[in-house]
Amino acid sequence: MAERDRFELDLATALRAYLEDAPTEVRPTELARQFATAYPHRRAVLGRWSFGLVPALAWILLLGGLLLALVGGALLVGSQLQRKLPAVVPPIGQPPIGQLYECPPGSTPDEPGPVDQARPAGWRSATAFDRRAGRLVVVTTSDLASGIETWTFDVCTNTWTRMHPNREPPNFEYSLLVYDVNSDATILLSVDRRPSPAIPLRVWVYDLQTDTWTEKRAPPTIANLSLTYDPVSGLVVAAGAPGSGGAPELWNYDVETDAWTQIHQANRPRPLDFGAYAYDASVDRLVAYGDGAYGAPPYETWLFDIRSGTWSRSAAERPPVVGWLTRPGLVHDEAAERTVVFMRSPLTAYDASADRWEILAGPETLWEDPPGVEVYDAVNRRLVGWGRGVVAFDLTTREWTVLLAPR
Amino acid sequence: MGNQTVASTVALAGAGDEAAFAQVVASYHADMARVAFAACGDRELAEDAVQAAWLIAWKKLHSLRDPERVRPWLLAVTANEARQLLRRRHGPVVEIDVEAPGDNRNDPSAGIERLDLRRALAHLSPDDRALVVMHYVIDLSSDELGAAVGASPSAARMRLSRIVDRLRKELRDG
C-alpha cells in the first residue's frame, strides 16, 4: 500500500480514539468453555443470544398443524398420500449410476420425523448418501477427547439411527465421505492438520450392511483434498493440490483392490485453489471450482474429462458465491442436472450443459442457524442438509422441506 | 502469533481444542470488536455480532482452507454478522448514532474531531466502515483486505481509495 498522507494519518488516529469504545474485553477461556459446553444445546446456555428458541417452537407447531391438515384432507377425499419415485436417469450413453433404494409403500418422506428422537450431537462431521440403503451415512465428532460416532439417517422415515460398529476410525480434524456404489461401501478420508499428527491422512471404509469399519491404505499426502465418485469407472476420485494454488493432482481409489492410481492429465488448468470437485453426470465431467489466493479472484469453473484426461475452462460468468475462505462443497443434483455449490448461503448451482451459474434460494427462512446442503438424496431426488435439524431442498421447485425440526 | 504458530493453533482450535480456541479468541477478539463496533456504531450490537461470529468460528474453523488466513476470515465473518444484525434490528437503511450521549471528547492532538468523524462515518455503509477500520486500525495487508471483502486486492484498494476520498471531502472540505 502507498505511504499514508497527513489526512490518512489523522484519520487513523481519530479512528483509534473512536474505537476505544469498542467492546474489546473478553474472557477467552470462559468463551471457549461456553461454546464447548453449550454446543449443540447452546440456545439454552447462551442467555441473551438465545434468540432462536421461539422460531423453532413456532416451526414445530406450524408443521404439526400442516401435517394434521394434510392427513385430514387425504381422509376426506378418500385417497392416500403418495410420492413418485422416478428412476434415476443415467447420463446419455452411460450405464446406470447404480441400484437405487425405493421407499417402502406407505412411506412419508416429506413428513418430519419425530422431534424427540436421538440425533448426532457432534459438530465436525462428514456425510455421504448410501443410495442402495436410502440413508445418509454420517460420521461426527465433538472434541479431541471423544471418538467419532457413526450415524445413519433414513430418508424414507426421517429418522436417525446411531450405529454401533465394533470399532470406529480415530478422531479427525476434518473428514470427507463418499459412497462407492460399485462396492456398496462408504469411504472416509480423514485429514489431520494438527501439529505432528502421527498420520495426516487416513482412509476407512464403512459397510452399512455389516456395520463395520475397515482401515485401508491412505493416499499420498495432498492438501485441499476433495472426494467424489465416478459412476462410469466405479472408482472414487480424490482431487487436491500439493500446495495452495498448485496444479491439481487426481487419484483414483479402487476399494476392492485397495489401490490408489494417479489419473493422467493431458493438460493442466492454471494454478488456482481448487477447493471442491463433483462428478456431473449430465456432461460426464468433473466440475472443479477454483479461486485465487485468499479466496480472491479469479473465480473460475473448470471441467475435467476423466476419460481423456483433458481440462477445459468454463466460459460461464463467475459463480455468485465467492470470496469465502472456508472450503466449499460441490454436489451433483441428478434430478435437475445441476452441480450445486454449498458454503453458507446463498446456494448456487452450475448448469454444465448450459454453462451457466445461478443463485438458488437460501435456507435463511427456515430457522436460525439452518443447516446447509450436504448431499444429494437420490431416492427422493433432492438435496439434503442437517445440523440441529434436517432439511431438503428441491432444485426443481426451489422449495425447502423440513424433514426433522430442531429441538 | 507467528505464521507457523497461527496455523497450528487454528488447526487445534478447529479440531475442538478449547485451550487453542481460547488462544485464537485472545488473539483476534479485540480486532473483531473494533470492526463490529465500526460497522454497527453501537456497543451492544457489536458485542452480539462478535459473539455470533465466534460461534460461527467455533463451528467452522476446521473448514478454513488455510489456517494462516484466519484473521481476514474472522473479520469478514464479524462484518457479515454485524451487517445482518443491523438489518434484522433496523431494516435495510442503517445509520450510526451521531450524537451519542457524552460524546464530546476530543483529542487535541488529532487533526479530526470525534464528532466530525462520527458524522462522516454515519454516511458510509456498515461494510465501508468496517473496511476503513480493517485498513487504518488493524493494518490488514492488501491480500487480507481483499479476502475479507471478497474482492481482489486491487479492487479492495480501489474501494478503499474511494471511501477515503469521500471522507477527505467531508472532513477536510465539509
pLDDT digits (tens, 9 = 90+) for B136-162: 999 998 888 887 877 778 888 999 999
For residue A201, what pLDDT is reported? 87
Q: Which of A375, A339, A394, A395 is nearest to A186 (CA)?
A: A375
Compute how many other C-beta atoms are within 10 angstroms of the C-beta atom of residue B171. 19
Cβ–Cβ under 8 Å, residues A277 and A290: no
Are residues A23 and A146 located together in one domain of the fold?
no
**Mutation target among B10, B56, B65, B135 for the A interface, most CBs of A within 10 A:** B65
Using only C-alpha atoms, chain A has a radius of gyration, in whole angstroms, of 23
Chain B: closest CA distance from residue A134 (Å)? 27
Measure the CA–CA gap between B110 and B133, rounded to whole angstroms: 17
The per-residue pLDDT for A171 is: 83
Last residue of a domain, one of A81, A100, A115: A81
Q: Is pLDDT above 80 for B173? A: no
User: Is A29 inside a domain boundary?
Assistant: yes
From the CA of B93, how many Å to the nearest CA of chain A? 20
Q: Cell numbers for A405, please give them.
A: 425440526
Size of interface A-B (CB pairs under 8 A): 200
Average pLDDT, chain B: 83
Query: Of A9, A8, A169, A295, whose CA–CA distance to B149 is shortest?
Result: A295
Q: Does A91 map to a domain? A: no
Q: Quote the pLDDT of residue A35.
A: 84
At residue B66, the pLDDT reads 76
Per-residue pLDDT, A261: 93
Same domain, A299 and A385: yes
B76 to chain A: which residues are within 8 Å by CB? 323, 325
> How much is the pLDDT for A49?
33
Q: Who's near B34: CB < 8 A, 6+ residues apart?
A: A19, A22, A24, B133, B137, B138
Q: Are B54 and B33 in contact (CB under 8 A)?
A: no
Cα–Cα distance for residue pair B137/A12, rounded to 1 Å: 6
DSSP B172: I
A209 contacts chain B (CB < 8 A): no
Instruction: Please give the pLDDT value at position A78.
Output: 36
The string of pLDDT tens digits covering residues A327-361 is: 667 788 888 888 877 655 567 888 888 888 887 76
Which residues of B fall within a CB distance of 8 Å from A1? 135, 141-142, 157
A52 and A181 inside one domain: no
| pLDDT score of B32 | 96
pLDDT of residue A54: 41
> What pLDDT shows up at residue A86?
29
Give the position of cell 487454528: B10
Distance from CA of A46 to the nearest CA of B (A): 10
The verdict on A304 and A382 lying in the same domain is yes
The reply to whether A95 falls in a domain is no
| Residue B137 to residue A194, Cβ atoms within 8 A | no
Between these two residues, B113 and B111, which has the higher pLDDT value?
B113
* Domain edge (last residue) among A51, A81, A111: A81
Question: What parts of chain A have a pLDDT lower than 50?
Answer: 40-54, 73-96, 322-323, 363
Boundary of a domain, candidates A54, A81, A108: A81
Residues of the domain holding A172: 124-404
Q: Which residue of B has its CA nearest to A4?
A: B136
CB atoms within 10 A of CB A267: 9
> How many domains does the structure of chain A reveal?
2
Q: Mark which residues 244-263 of A lie under 8 Å from B by CB.
A: 244
Q: Is residue A306 part of a domain?
A: yes
Q: Is B64 helix (H, G, I), strand (E, B) or coil?
A: strand
Query: Residue A45: its pLDDT value, please?
Result: 29
Taking CB atoms and an 8 Å limit, are B16 and A8 in contact across chains?
A: no
Would you call A45 an interface residue with chain B, using a CB distance cutoff of 8 Å?
A: no
What whole-number distance in Å separates Cα of residue B124 and Cα of residue A373?
35
Of A325-329, A350-354, B30-34, B65-69, give the lowest mean pLDDT range: A325-329
In a domain, A117, yes or no: no
Q: How far is A105 from chain B (nearest CA, A)?
A: 39
A153 and A297 housed in the same domain: yes
How far apart (Å, rounded) are the C-alpha atoms in residues A148 and A138? 10
pLDDT, position A407: 83
Residues of chain A contacting B25 with CB distance shorter than 8 Å: 26, 28, 31-32
* Whether A128 and A77 share a structural domain: no
pLDDT at A92: 40
Q: Which of B33, B152, B153 sits opposite A24 (nearest CB)?
A: B33
pTM over 0.90: no
* Co-location of A346 and A277 in the same domain: yes
- Distances from the Cα of B80 to the Cαs of B39, B74, B84, B117, in angstroms? 9, 10, 6, 23
pLDDT at A363: 46
Say whether both A128 and A52 belong to one domain.
no
User: Are A230 and A147 in the same domain?
Assistant: yes
- The reported pLDDT for the residue numbered A397 is 84
Alpha-carbon torsion, ordered B149, B153, B154, B159, to 10 deg: 20
A39/B113 Cβ within 8 A = no
The CATH number for A128's domain is: 2.120.10.80
In a domain, A106, yes or no: no
Kindly state whether residues A309 and A191 are assigned to the same domain: yes
Please give the order of strands across the beta sheet that includes A201-207: A174-180, A185-191, A201-207, A212-216
Tell me if A18 is assigned to some domain. Answer: yes
> CB distance B151–A296 less than 8 Å?
yes
Tell me: do A258 and A169 sit in the same domain: yes
In a shared domain, residues A132 and A64: no
Q: Is residue A66 included in any domain, yes or no?
A: yes
Other C-beta atoms lying within 10 Å of the C-beta of residue B54: 27
A406 prior amide bond cis, ω within 30? no
B137 vs A174: CB contact, 8 Å cut-off?
no
Contact B69 A19 (CB under 8 A): no
